[in-house]
Structure 1
């Protein structure tokens, strides 16, 4: 008899509401990060929003520092710094980022899950509600919950777009008629549906299946990495706490399974380090509560490395961590030096193609140049272009005068030199760009002339 393959449906998890010291700390950290997340695109600093990640126009702003398309190498280097930091962070502290700072976890555990606890109750009440028929109570609770989920997903979608297209453009899309911004309206609706689907249905699947960082965890961790782990040397053999068992040798674990019940990804931490563990520390709080009740030391589950779990060896940072830290330090030094040397105006001066030097009256020679100036700031600038050599003269054919914010300007001019100062056929010409009498940029090129 031929059997048909069946696809197993996603098992819906009902994690028990966590509590404890670590959960309280994580909760307040999450609230601080949420405030930062929702304010950065709407707070102005030096005329720009605090953080802007406009990939469409290749403009990026970080706390007043503007990266234009010409600064893309700086943005790429900044992303490299962030990637190396995550590697270094993971090697030392495991997947702590996922449990304490990842937006997915913060929204899921500190916003959507808490709304679910508030409306439907703890894990057992949620199971009971899902199992019962569609009566008035279930319809009301489920309806209110999902309406709130949609509203919050809508707010997240708008905030997300504010980071991408800027808060000003978003405000324009919201206030003006929909027919004038069809693509923007569709984007808001699409992202609302995506966020709602993630937090109302997919949930932990994003962390356990979709997110690539969790899969990299197994490659990055070593024996010195600190992870949320079960101290099996102390906990085994586990067994239920019974009166008749007093006097017999057993481990501290009483197999209450609270660590499993509070886990948001549904794993048993006692089975060892697993890719699904996001280091949220909910199991540590749950286990500490039980240890306190049975007069046992806390941290049967805690932050441990592999060497401690095997022979209770004292924690030491591994050489790999020092290596990553050294690389991170060097890249930060390079990035900082490039940022320090970065000019507000980028100037490029090139000789006009297809032209030779021109002999002039009064024993002078000129070369024709084209200059392009790019303004990397968010303010208009009135600039002046001059030669660094005070003996040179500049005769403008096309002079912009004003350099628009985040824009560019083209300047065409002759550089004129006296023949008696020309000592060789090819020499250097250095130009300065001044704003309010201060040199903000320099550019150099070649000057050709027949020496006397």
Structure 2
């Protein structure tokens, strides 16, 4: 869906030709390097604050522990998963699957209402590119004009010095990011241990680390905005998710057209000129190289750089700000003030409920998971008028606290349990414990050759932690 002002004319085209090409490529398909101007303004400051917070979280969370558990750890190789300090096991995979589905629904509904705010404010690609690597580039090579000049000049001492310094810092930061990414996989303790022992002691880890470092360097030093325009599927989803009520960065073409250069003292409205003075500042600050005045485009990541640039120009010439702003298509077309509609409110409430549901799935998993399985090939035996079955129990303590548990047969209730050890069992926090028990019933109580029973596990206070339904085998009996 696009918001395209009818009176924008593209030379030699029907006004929509820009949609047939990518803003970072020329007519021959060759890469056009983007040199965005350094943005300044209200939204840029807000994004800086958000980015600093997210960077602190990214580099700080690997060292945060809750009840001696990592805050977040996704160790696929060793099958160790911790989310918000809560351990997850293969038995909890269905929760993670439901959580993933819930997250997808959340992203889709969020995009329907709030557009691509995630891309401009929260996406790791934008965060590292614009708030880390780009800032270093500005510091070393200067703003847009100086960067363009440096790119065109011969490889003299100045250019070699600046490029080597920039590339070296980029490589170092990519290496640091790789190490922190691995901390989210194996934990910071093991990463530090691998660093101390050196690459020859862990050649596979070293090679993987170098590969990831090279990938990060390639993305942020060269591939850059191409990730958003060519690779990322989220931008493609925008075309089918947004509608006229979706909030996005829009150019108010009804107010801005017909665009014309600024002249002091003239009455622009009287002579049919719009508020857009065609200064092109919204284009030169765009990190994906598009012209927001052409309408909504898949390449737009809602970074707000064009909003700040336009507001600064409007302020200088004495025109109202907001020519480019966060708005909906309906708001621009009807020239009405933005309203938080009932649909937006209902969707926001539903998004909050989805987050609550996801939190419920993560935390309401029970402190203990138990299983009672009869050993393969085992059978019952009869002794002293009692029929006995042997079971292997498995206790999984999902909490960080030690649990002292007892076992009782809930149904039928006249069972006798024989323990191969003490009748109370201690299960340490985050431990899987296995053992054997015998369960016996009076022979006259067993009416079927395979009878259903339920076994409960209780803590020291008599609270049932979990129960498990299984079968009890006895001699075959004819039923009349």
Match of 1:444 in 2: 469
User: Is 1:265 matched with 2:265?
Assistant: no
Structure 2 CA distance, aligned partners of 1:110 and 1:444?
55
SS in 1 for 2:36: coil
Match of 1:347 among 365, 370, 381: 370
User: Is 1:232 matched with 2:253?
Assistant: yes
- After superposition, give the CA deviation of every residue in 1:251-307 in whole Å (9 maximum; x if it has no partner): 000000000011111100000000000000010011011111111111000011111
Structure 2 CA distance, aligned partners of 1:438 and 1:301?
61
SS in 2 for 1:292: helix
Structure 1 CA distance, aligned partners of 2:314 and 2:171?
40
- Structure 1 position 56, deviation (Å): 2.6
Structure 2 CA distance, aligned partners of 1:189 and 1:204?
23
Q: TM-score, normalised by structure 1?
A: 0.90
Structure 1 CA distance, aligned partners of 2:30 and 2:92?
48
User: Is 1:311 matched with 2:302?
Assistant: no
Judge which range, 27-36 or 130-139, deviates more: 130-139
User: Is 1:200 matched with 2:215?
Assistant: no
User: Is 1:376 matched with 2:398?
Assistant: yes
- After superposition, give the CA deviation of every residue in 1:26-70 in whole Å (9 maximum; x if it has no partner): 001100000001111122221122111223333321221121111
- After superposition, give the CA deviation of every residue in 1:56-89 in whole Å (9 maximum; x if it has no partner): 3333212211211111111112222222221122
SS in 2 for 1:430: strand
Judge which range, 350-359 or 321-330, deviates more: 321-330
- Structure 1 position 448, deviation (Å): 4.4
Structure 2 CA distance, aligned partners of 1:330 and 1:353?
45
Match of 1:77 in 2: 98
Structure 2 CA distance, aligned partners of 1:404 and 1:7?
66
Instruction: Sort the Cα spacing of 1:442 and 1:429 in 2 relative to 1 into closer, same or farther, 3 A.
Output: closer
Q: How many residues align?
A: 444
SS in 2 for 1:365: strand
- Structure 1 position 384, deviation (Å): 4.1
- Structure 1 position 447, deviation (Å): 3.2
Match of 1:141 among 148, 162, 186: 162
Match of 2:436 in 1: 412
- Structure 1 position 445, deviation (Å): 2.2
Alignment of 1:182-261 (within 5 A): 182-243=203-264, 245-246=266-267, 248-261=271-284
Q: Any stretches of 5+ residues in structure 2 without a counterpart?
A: 1-26
Match of 1:3 in 2: none
Match of 2:417 in 1: 394
- After superposition, give the CA deviation of every residue in 1:175-213 in whole Å (9 maximum; x if it has no partner): 113222111111111111111111111110011111111
Match of 2:38 in 1: 17
Structure 1 CA distance, aligned partners of 2:460 and 2:288?
58
Q: Any stretches of 5+ residues in structure 1 without a counterpart?
A: 1-5
Check whether the contact 1:348–1:443 (CA below 8 A) recurs between aligned residues: yes
SS in 2 for 1:428: strand
Q: TM-score, normalised by structure 2?
A: 0.85
Match of 2:11 in 1: none
Structure 1 CA distance, aligned partners of 2:139 and 2:103?
37
Check whether the contact 1:224–1:315 (CA below 8 A) recurs between aligned residues: no
User: Is 1:58 matched with 2:79?
Assistant: yes
Instruction: Sort the Cα spacing of 1:219 and 1:33 in 2 relative to 1 into closer, same or farther, 3 A.
Output: same
- After superposition, give the CA deviation of every residue in 1:122-143 in whole Å (9 maximum; x if it has no partner): 1001111121222222222111
Judge which range, 386-395 or 123-132, deviates more: 386-395
Judge which range, 246-255 or 335-344, deviates more: 335-344
Judge which range, 329-338 or 287-296, deviates more: 329-338
Give 4+ residue runs of structure 1 displaced > 6 Å after superposition.
Answer: none
